[in-house]
Chains A and B, each alone.
Chain A
């Protein structure tokens, strides 16, 4: 939560231009969509220009002529011809307006289409990239924050591609074109607008620096508070049982108040920005009246032209005023883009993950899958060494058991075998090939896996067991249910295999979750099965049944079994005793017992009726009895 390493490695130096360029690269495959968008925008603009032109034509044409004629002819004035001509102008105006309807529709539909196509691609890429990153990278990051990347961050990019990038660049075209048109209509009047346009753009620029920072902060704070919310929801049981609702509420309040103060900054910026722009706009308008008025009085300027000018001025000022709004979008999109690129730029450090991105084809996996740990040492990040020179083999068809005190490094060995982390020293060989050179996904596809901290997906039981693996057939599923003794469980659930599973399997008991994880591992007919405390919460009778049932299933497969309960490992070909990261003893159950070392002691602890808790213990004895 609060202490998490900053999610976004701020790259303050990143130039907007560099960022923009990268974004444009994403848009390139859909270049055609964007060309269409520009075309539609150009047509809309042309129609927009035509409207006031017609208005001026009418006023300076038939209307002006009629007014002049009336003054000249007096009572003999016949308005009919002028009125008829006015109707023609009006008809033309109507036509332009109706044509505009079609193109305006296309403007939004087409622009959104272009933006959404890009964003759909980007979301996919980003998601796939995140999935490829090292497990160690995930260890340090709150899930909530990562989710924000592929949801709201990506969505704010969508807006950028539509309202932001395309409209903005076209707005610049518009501003340029209108300045030219104004100049062409009347260069003296246009002079004022041309002179003041840089002032307006200057205000936008100054504003832009502040807005960027502010938006970045808002997004970060929002994602932090959402992350906290999610974690609190997941730990709700603990929060309530410990009566700490107030505490988490206060922490959330802390997140919210940081979010609020970041937001207030953006509000202030925008509150200042819009009136400032509006004032300069009024300055331009007032100056045109000031100077235009003098020239109207002198008869150098027609009313029609002045009105047309006024229209075009409004058309010019609209996009300039909107620059702020567009920046609003663009800024928040840039802030999001930075965070997204921050992730896309994060490369996995593990060789196998790196290769998944691009690189030489991994060594093929074809052998029987003989696993060999060669003097493997390992430390998590810069932490203390967790494993020291671990040496062992899993020959094909053998079951190897791993026992040892809690925290001794058993799960770490599993993590290494899966290629989640790489050894700091030493090698792990599969059929003589370094695991780092292999295709990690192909390797893992041969494994059946029950992790100590397992995870069920929301969905149905069947979906969780099959996991869209091609190797799982109806038969293998059947065998797996049998082998994990979970048939009874599944039959008890409403709907059987199609029974719903809640998020993380919350509505199942812990042991039931373990049974399903076991079934899932067996269903893929794995070559090597890895069980990390797979039956820690399963009752012994079921456990023994599983042992018997899986015996035949596992006959030709290798297995690595981690367990505290020694009864579950007796059948192993070899038992490895791990102590503080070192392999202290190895051998079969009988040899280890006769050795009289660590294993024998563990064994004695577990199976001797030692009076650990006698009824005279103050803790357990009841004073009432």
Chain B
């Protein structure tokens, strides 16, 4: 409960509507009880009365009270449910912000579809419990005592015997709760699974179609959907029981009214008007009581949702701002790797070890090596995608972990290997790189630098062209160059290019490198590549094999010192004998 109260704190941020809303609850409830009492008393007055004038007054009075009650009930719903919606949105925003802060070790191990669906349903569970749920409970907490107080005055024994079925109901629901919870959790899990399957099938539709996987994917969905069906039915049986328990105990409340009330009527210790009050208040009390039961049913779900959300919000991003950041005056772009070691969580061997590199400001470092050697991992350390497990990465002599993230990343232009783009307009994607708004002229200039001006000019909508999810409507090379334009847009001191010219033909690559050279004088360049021609002119090239630097030097030196480099160069340069042929 304490955990849920913490979330209630979020409701308290909206004090006024919350306070006013809760204030209206007792008023509406008391007015409701009042109506019953008035009618009940009138019933007794009727017996054999010759003058029925008073009924006229009663009629209008009841309507008036009902009108006031209606206004309060309107306000109650309006204020309280709105607050719960505000809280929902606040909470979602906080979760979103937290998710964007968390580091990759978190994101790598979770499914994005799963997170999204969890975020929706968990937040909804909490909203329901603390919003409308509490509203009903508060209603019950006023209604039940008020009604009992009225009824005990009329007949204590009858009141007590009426409570028995209600208690039985409470007990029954309590016993059912674990079962309800179990099934509803299973249903939720299956639905997340369905969502995941759909996510992958629709996101990877080209592979699905290309391999004719439609049928096997559909079978898989059908299987999970059938499992979902099974749990739904189990859940329905549990809900059926709880429904039967509530309804039957509702019906049984009238049994003592019939028996005890009937006996009292025979004994003349009770009047019919009082019996009526029992009946009508039972109607009015029972639904709030059921709401209590419903809340009890929601409780475990809300609790486990709260736990998950708490966990997520409490997750400390591994990569975060230092407590006392150093603030360098201006980033020059000198990079150093000192005895760096890095190991992915749960990996057997380190992905990088014994890395020592230094790059002077404005110099170019080439990173080459076989597939899976650790090039991307190395490049990721610069912008703190992850932190080294040992050693340090330094920018201008400062450990990157001592710099504010904003400062560090502001100085970097990063082009990821998978060239991720957003499904926005072309312009928005380039603009994404720059903290300041860009003019059309400067966007065009960037696009030209990235060697894509001609192609953008051919887009039907120009810069406003929508490029689809992940940029599907662009060719592979176009995506890569757009990513370069995006990185250039921040005018970075250090440009990190992760094999981002692989889908660009040699001619375009040559033009592009030429452009990059002209555009950013004095900019440090870190380039990972498979094509050695890309890095051939770097000031230093490191060859990484199995996470270690196996050789380093300039192109000419490496041709002499590194077997891997020489062999790769030979393969790529097999032209000699070819041209001779």
Q: How far is the CA of A10 from the CA of B214 in the complex (A)?
A: 28
Q: Is the CB of A509 within 8 A of B262?
A: no
A424 within 8 A of B: no
Q: How far is the CB of A83 from chain B (nearest CB, A)?
A: 7
- Residue-wise, chain A 600-612 has the 8 Å CB interface mask toward B (1 for contact) of 0111011110101
- Residue-wise, chain B 58-97 has the 8 Å CB interface mask toward A (1 for contact) of 1100110011011101100110011001100100110011
Q: Collect the chain A residues with CB atoms within 8 Å of residue B236's CB.
A: 108-109, 111-113, 116
Q: How far is the CB of A369 from chain B (nearest CB, A)?
A: 15
- Closest B residue to A270 by CB, please name it: B77
Residues A237 and B510 in contact in the complex (CB < 8 Å), given A128-B218, A511-B371, A618-B517: no
B395 within 8 A of A: no
Residues A455 and B203 in contact in the complex (CB < 8 Å), given A3-B424, A124-B225, A275-B71: yes
Determine the main DSSP class of A at the interface with B.
helix
Partner of B573, one of A143, A512, A607: A607
Q: How far is the CB of A488 from chain B (nearest CB, A)?
A: 9
Q: Is the CB of A241 within 8 A of B416?
A: yes
Partner of B47, one of A144, A259, A297: A297
Selected interface stretch from A201-209, A284-292, A330-338, A551-559: A284-292
Q: Is the CB of A619 within 8 A of B364?
A: yes
B2 within 8 A of A: no
- Residue-wise, chain A 239-269 has the 8 Å CB interface mask toward B (1 for contact) of 1111111011100110011011001100110
A427 within 8 A of B: no
Q: How far is the CA of A87 from the CA of B256 in the complex (A)?
A: 11
Q: Is the CB of A241 within 8 A of B383?
A: yes
> What band does the interface of chain B fall in when counting residues whose beta carbon is under 8 Å from A?
35 or more
8 A Cβ contacts from B358-398 to A? 360-364, 369-372, 375-376, 383, 385
Residues A382 and B418 in contact in the complex (CB < 8 Å), given A55-B258, A233-B115, A467-B213: no
A458 within 8 A of B: yes
Q: How far is the CA of A384 from the CA of B456 in the complex (A)?
A: 12
Q: Collect the chain A residues with CB atoms within 8 Å of residue B424's CB.
A: 1-3
A155 within 8 A of B: yes
Q: How far is the CA of A293 from the CA of B41 in the complex (A)?
A: 11
Q: Collect the chain A residues with CB atoms within 8 Å of residue B539's CB.
A: 615, 620-622, 625
Selected interface stretch from A14-22, A165-173, A428-436, A563-571: A563-571
Q: Is the CB of A67 within 8 A of B507?
A: no
Q: Which of A271, A310, A567 has the most CB of B within 10 A?
A: A271
8 A Cβ contacts from A104-157 to B? 104-109, 111-113, 116-117, 120, 123-124, 127-128, 130-132, 135, 138-144, 146-147, 150-152, 155
A199 within 8 A of B: no
Q: How far is the CA of A293 from the CA of B276 in the complex (A)?
A: 13
Partner of A620, one of B82, B369, B385, B537: B537
Q: How far is the CA of A489 from the CA of B272 in the complex (A)?
A: 87
Q: Collect the chain A residues with CB atoms within 8 Å of residue B35's CB.
A: 282
Pairs A–B under 8 Å by Cβ, sample size 21? A51-B251, A104-B243, A131-B205, A131-B214, A151-B191, A231-B422, A232-B96, A238-B414, A243-B410, A264-B85, A282-B62, A293-B46, A297-B52, A307-B275, A444-B209, A444-B211, A539-B530, A541-B564, A541-B568, A620-B525, A620-B537
Q: Collect the chain B residues with CB atoms within 8 Å of residue A59's CB.
A: 262, 265, 272, 275
Q: Collect the chain A residues with CB atoms within 8 Å of residue B564's CB.
A: 541
A469 within 8 A of B: yes
Q: Which of A123, A275, A544, A567 has the most CB of B within 10 A?
A: A275
A-B CB proximity, top 5 nearest: A406-B477, A511-B371, A112-B236, A619-B517, A613-B537
Q: How far is the CA of A93 from the CA of B567 in the complex (A)?
A: 94
A452 within 8 A of B: yes
Q: How far is the CA of A418 from the CA of B209 in the complex (A)?
A: 9
Q: Is the CB of A146 within 8 A of B579?
A: no
Q: Collect the chain A residues with CB atoms within 8 Å of residue B204's CB.
A: 455, 457
Selected interface stretch from B139-147, B192-200, B298-306, B308-316: B192-200
Question: Total contacts A to B, CB within 8 angstroms?
Answer: 564
A420 within 8 A of B: yes
8 A Cβ contacts from A23-44 to B? none
- Residue-wise, chain A 45-60 has the 8 Å CB interface mask toward B (1 for contact) of 0000001001100110
Selected interface stretch from A175-183, A388-396, A499-507: A499-507
Q: How far is the CA of A606 from the CA of B571 in the complex (A)?
A: 12
Q: Collect the chain B residues with CB atoms within 8 Å of residue A533's CB.
A: 476, 502-503
Q: How far is the CA of A411 from the CA of B244 in the complex (A)?
A: 62
Q: How far is the CB of A298 from chain B (nearest CB, A)?
A: 8
Q: How far is the CA of A244 from the CA of B521 in the complex (A)?
A: 25
Q: Collect the chain B residues with CB atoms within 8 Å of residue A296's CB.
A: 43, 46-47
Q: How far is the CB of B427 from chain A (nearest CB, A)?
A: 11
Q: Is the CB of A620 within 8 A of B202?
A: no
Q: Is the CB of B460 within 8 A of A382?
A: yes
Q: Which of A276, A467, A503, A615 has the most CB of B within 10 A?
A: A503
- Closest A residue to B410 by CB, please name it: A243
Residues A286 and B363 in contact in the complex (CB < 8 Å), given A90-B258, A138-B205: no
Q: How far is the CA of A474 from the CA of B33 in the complex (A)?
A: 76
Q: Knowing that A105-B241, A502-B109 are A-B contacts, what are 8 other residue pairs whose CB atoms are under 8 Å apart, sorted by A's residue number?
A: A67-B268, A104-B243, A112-B233, A124-B225, A128-B218, A147-B202, A533-B476, A533-B502
A164 within 8 A of B: no
B134 within 8 A of A: no
Selected interface stretch from B4-12, B148-156, B439-447, B466-474: B466-474
Q: Is the CB of B460 within 8 A of A383?
A: yes
- Closest A residue to B264 by CB, please name it: A63
Q: Is the CB of B116 within 8 A of A146?
A: no
Q: Is the CB of A109 within 8 A of B237?
A: yes
Partner of B414, one of A242, A297, A410: A242
Partner of A97, one of B251, B364, B502: B251
A528 within 8 A of B: no
Q: Is the CB of A454 within 8 A of B207?
A: yes
Q: Which of B55, B111, B254, B505 has the most CB of A within 10 A?
A: B505
Q: Collect the chain B residues with CB atoms within 8 Å of residue A601's CB.
A: 507
B581 within 8 A of A: yes
Residues A503 and B111 in contact in the complex (CB < 8 Å), given A63-B265, A67-B266, A93-B254: yes
B239 within 8 A of A: yes
Residues A267 and B212 in contact in the complex (CB < 8 Å), given A151-B191, A384-B460: no
Q: Which of B63, B96, B424, B572 has the most CB of A within 10 A?
A: B96
Q: Is the CB of B537 within 8 A of A100?
A: no
Residues A407 and B507 in contact in the complex (CB < 8 Å), given A231-B423, A451-B207: no
Q: Is the CB of B571 within 8 A of A618?
A: no
Q: How far is the CB of B335 from chain A (nearest CB, A)?
A: 12
Q: Is the CB of B71 within 8 A of A286?
A: no
Q: Is the CB of A239 within 8 A of B466?
A: no
A449 within 8 A of B: yes
B508 within 8 A of A: yes
Q: How far is the CA of A264 from the CA of B201 in the complex (A)?
A: 35
Q: How far is the CA of A158 from the CA of B232 in the complex (A)?
A: 10
Q: How far is the CB of B98 from chain A (nearest CB, A)?
A: 10
Q: Collect the chain B residues with CB atoms within 8 Å of residue A144's CB.
A: 116, 199
Q: How far is the CA of A383 from the CA of B32 in the complex (A)?
A: 66
B1 within 8 A of A: no
Q: Is the CB of A243 within 8 A of B473?
A: no
